[in-house]
Amino acid sequence: MTSIGDVIKIGAGAVVGGLLVFTVYSSLNALWWLPAAERHGREIEAAEATAATNKAIGELSNAADQARVRRRLCIERGGMYNFAKGECIEAKPVDHD
């Protein structure tokens, strides 16, 4: 037969164990899983935006229009447009961590 003291000890152990599991899971989620998921989501979004932009540029009527749009997009993103090569030199991303 279990006494009331044993039941209280078992209940307290279950509560402490539950809090420990919750703390570990929350810490892993906040420090590791969530930032990785956000970074992955940003990478996917950036790739989709780049693909859509490149498709729209490709649909322009001539090379001069395409070059003007690419130059403008480069400058808006903080890059420097290399006219000789016709390409954008991207600015280095700033890490806020």
* Residue 93 pLDDT class (50, 70, 90 cuts): low
- Per-residue pLDDT of 51-63, as tens digits, reads 888 888 778 778 8
Contact 43, 55 (CB under 8 A): no
> What are the Cα distances from residue 64, in Å, to 18, 44, 68, 89, 91?
65, 30, 6, 19, 24
On average, the pLDDT of the chain sits at 85
For residue 58, give both structure tokens.
Answer: 């490709």
- Per-residue pLDDT of 17-34, as tens digits, reads 999 999 999 988 888 888
**pTM (predicted TM-score):** 0.47
